[in-house]
Copies of this chain bind each other. A is one copy, B any other.
Amino acid sequence: MNEKSLWKFLEKHLNAIYSGDFKTYEETSHKDLTLYEWFVAPHRIEGLSFHKFMMENNWASTHDGFNIHLTNKKAQVYNDTAILTYTLIISYKNEGKIEHKVVNETRVVIKFGNTLKVVHVHKSPGK
């Protein structure tokens, strides 16, 4: 797996999430995706339906414009497995002021044939 295309794939995946584009999200995710999102619940979430509702309801207040900044990125690649880790700074306007969410993320990407799919996500507080 080529690292540059991995980050490009990730960019597409993240943009889908924050712009509410469920179709692209679904294409870039494995249907049995597992997640830990501490700000929702201290439990593993499985499958895509939970986030479908989230994305359709603008959960991150980003549908009117946002900026994604990834910092301290690292790709660990083992054959068809890539472990992407980074700090995500998502900026958006809230009541006329810019606010930032800062989150540490792991996204594990697997290459099935020619297709990349996110199979696992783990988030924790980035500040």
**How many copies of this chain?**
14
Among B34, B79, B120, B122, which residue has its beta carbon within 8 angstroms of that of A79? B79
**SS of A interface (majority):** strand
A110 to B57, CA, bound (A): 38
Q: Interface 1/0s, chain A 12-30, versus B by CB < 8 A?
A: 0000000000000000000
B interface footprint on A99-127 (CB within 8 Å = 1, 0 otherwise): 01010101010100000000110111111
Interface size class, chain A: 35 or more
Q: Which residue of B lies closest to A125 (CB)?
A: B38
CA distance A59 to B43 in the complex (A): 24
Q: A70-88, CB under 8 A of B: which get 1 and which 0?
A: 0110101011110101010
20 A-B residue pairs with Cβ-Cβ distance under 8 Å, sorted by A, are: A36-B106, A38-B125, A40-B100, A41-B100, A41-B102, A42-B42, A42-B87, A42-B127, A43-B104, A44-B71, A45-B69, A45-B89, A50-B91, A52-B67, A53-B67, A53-B98, A78-B80, A83-B119, A85-B122, A127-B127
